[in-house]
Structure 1
């Protein structure tokens, strides 16, 4: 947000600067150089003496008065050949000089003027020019005056623009805070603005959009929660009926079919549990934070894998820091990762953990078929499965990794997928050590 207004400020300053140069060149073109006008005013005393005292003398007294001025003036008055004066003047000033006008050179602190156009001052005066040097001309002062004008114009524009922008900036800051709260799971976050605020119409549209999103998500959550609970009742009845049927059955073929039906019921019951877990995570629960030692947690989860991989490597240093986390939720996420690696591996799973700064990273690798790079973004989507090796034949519903990502995100961490050095997939979980960095608030 600050970058937006900084760029706007830079644009205004550049526009003012460009306008200043355009105005300067336009005035110079139409009315003459403003610096020359300032210099002419600064040398007004010397010009006055020349025009009102020396030039008013008769032909036989003109040089006498000029010499008197030379004696008392701090400026140096000289008579130079006309050719030398023409060579020293810029081409743009030659026409005025030839007309007998006084030409001021601010940078040289001097002015030129022809002595006479017709030789009336004295014989040959029409071939000579007056050069005045060391005039009291201060270009620095002139530039400071121009700078003051620029600053005044800039302030006259920037102050109203700043006051006008301030209300926009405050409103956009409020909208940004609302967007952050809404994105962190606070679906009730809304922008509170007065109708006369500059961005009130935008805030109203954002509030309306947030209301619709909240209603849709709430309806989806309620539907999922209600369906999951409603399905539990017929599942329980079917389990009871199958148990009675198994007690009455004597045919081995029927018993085998009953066992298959019980497996389907267990799968359906597992799906309901996963859906309820997803619903709880989507509602951004308040984390029950406590100090958790990750090393024994990973060792216990690895030991509980069934069936255990043929080769299970644990690289867990003894100096791993404890983390502030929800023990149950963190264990659920890490357990899902381990079981996912065990399920799709070819008998080799490796688990390692490292501390870097104020973060703890856990790496889970397998030697299975891996995850194509094009599928890695979608693998965390609920119910998404990769064809061929990672399908329902391996079990699961495509919710495990989604639960991992949501649980880790609630702790302020992240999950990334890569290629394992074992040849399969690798999952890296990074979570902050300190409780202050946890983002899972209710």
Structure 2
């Protein structure tokens, strides 16, 4: 938010500066160089003496009046050959000199003026140029005045803008804080603005949107939680009934059918448990964590995996330290990633972890088919499956990765998918360094 208003002020300053230069070039094009106009005003006294005192003298008194001016003026007046004067000037000023105009050299604080264009004042006067030096020209002083005017105009514009935008900045800060809280899971967060604020209509619409989202999420969680709980009772009855039926069945074919139904019931039970876990994570606020030994937690995750033909190895760096978090949720997240890798790996799964200056990074690699780039964000969506036929063969409901990401996000971390060096998928868990402390 601060960058927004800083850029706004920069844009205003640049606009004022650009307007100043545009005004300068426009006036220079239409009315001549403003700096030369300033120099002419500063040298107006010397120009007046030349045009109204020296030029008005009779032909035989011209030099006498020029000498009188030399005696009383601090400006030095000399006569230069026309060729020498023309060599000192550029083409534009040389043409003005040939026309008989007074030509100023601001840098040298001097002026040039042809004595006589037609040689009527005295012999040879048409080849002479009056050169006045040390004129009272101080462009720097005038530029300082212009700069002061520029600063005053800028302040006159920026101060009201700053006062006007201050209320907007505070209102937008309030909206930003509300958005951060809402995005962090505090669905009851609302923007509190006075009706006089300009952004009040926007805040009201955002509050209405937040209210509808909160209501929808609450209804979804309530429905999911209620349905999951209600399903547990009939599932338990089915399990009990199947056990009784299996105990009384003598037909081998009937026993196989009963075993298949028991497997379906166990699958339903697992689904209900996953849904309840999802519901708990969605409704979780801040974590009530404790200090967790990361090395021990990760090794325990590998040790408690179900038996499989794949080789599962832990490659943990020294000095992983501890983490302030929920050990059960972290173990659930890493365990889900490992079990997912077991399902699709051909022969090898590797869990690795390192601690760096910016955080803790844990990776789960496998040598399976991998995940296409276009699907990498979708695999964390609940019930999303890349290949439904493959999922039926490997089991699962499409909730494990979603639960893993939610658990990691609750700890302030991120979970991403990349390509593994083993050829399959790589799941990367990053936790902020502020969560942990070195061992």
What TM-score results when the alignment is normalised by the length of structure 2? 0.89
Match of 2:293 in 1: 293
Work out the CA distance in 1 between the residues paired with 2:271 and 2:320: 35
Following superposition, the deviation at residue 301 of structure 1 comes to 2.6
Match of 1:315 in 2: 315
Q: Is the 8 A contact 2:281 2:407 kept in 1?
A: yes
- More displaced 10-residue stretch of structure 1: 122-131 or 72-81: 122-131
Relative to structure 1, the CA distance from residue 205 to residue 88 in structure 2 (aligned partners, 3 Å threshold; closer, same or farther) is: same
Work out the CA distance in 2 between the residues paired with 1:91 and 1:343: 86
Please give the residue correspondences for 1:44-83 in structure 2 after superposition, counting only pairs within 5 Å: 44-51=44-51, 53-55=53-55, 57-82=57-82
Is 1:179 equivalent to 2:168 in the alignment? no
Match of 2:268 in 1: 268
Match of 2:282 in 1: 282
Following superposition, the deviation at residue 229 of structure 1 comes to 1.6
Please give the residue correspondences for 1:22-37 in structure 2 after superposition, counting only pairs within 5 Å: 22-37=22-37
Match of 1:328 in 2: 328
1:146-202: CA deviation from partner (whole Å, max 9, x where unpaired): 222322222222223333333333322222222211111111222222222122222
Relative to structure 1, the CA distance from residue 345 to residue 79 in structure 2 (aligned partners, 3 Å threshold; closer, same or farther) is: closer
Please give the residue correspondences for 1:8-157 in structure 2 after superposition, counting only pairs within 5 Å: 8-51=8-51, 53-55=53-55, 57-82=57-82, 85=85, 88-92=88-92, 101-116=101-116, 121-125=121-125, 128-157=128-157
Please give the residue correspondences for 1:362-377 in structure 2 after superposition, counting only pairs within 5 Å: 362-377=362-377
Relative to structure 1, the CA distance from residue 420 to residue 36 in structure 2 (aligned partners, 3 Å threshold; closer, same or farther) is: closer
Work out the CA distance in 2 between the residues paired with 1:345 and 1:252: 35
Following superposition, the deviation at residue 413 of structure 1 comes to 1.5
What TM-score results when the alignment is normalised by the length of structure 1? 0.88
Q: Is the 8 A contact 2:286 2:410 kept in 1?
A: no
What is the aligned length? 437
Relative to structure 1, the CA distance from residue 23 to residue 411 in structure 2 (aligned partners, 3 Å threshold; closer, same or farther) is: same
Following superposition, the deviation at residue 228 of structure 1 comes to 1.3
- More displaced 10-residue stretch of structure 1: 263-272 or 336-345: 336-345
Q: Where does structure 1 lack aligned partners over 5 or more consecutive residues?
A: 438-442
1:28-52: CA deviation from partner (whole Å, max 9, x where unpaired): 3443332222212322333344345
- More displaced 10-residue stretch of structure 1: 233-242 or 396-405: 233-242
Relative to structure 1, the CA distance from residue 169 to residue 132 in structure 2 (aligned partners, 3 Å threshold; closer, same or farther) is: same
Work out the CA distance in 1 between the residues paired with 2:418 and 2:285: 29
Q: Is the 8 A contact 1:358 1:432 kept in 2?
A: yes
Other structure's SS at 2:80 match: strand
Work out the CA distance in 2 between the residues paired with 1:284 and 1:127: 99
Following superposition, the deviation at residue 388 of structure 1 comes to 6.5
Other structure's SS at 2:60 match: coil
- More displaced 10-residue stretch of structure 1: 298-307 or 319-328: 298-307
Q: Where does structure 2 lack aligned partners over 5 or more consecutive residues?
A: none
Match of 2:7 in 1: 7
Relative to structure 1, the CA distance from residue 261 to residue 19 in structure 2 (aligned partners, 3 Å threshold; closer, same or farther) is: same
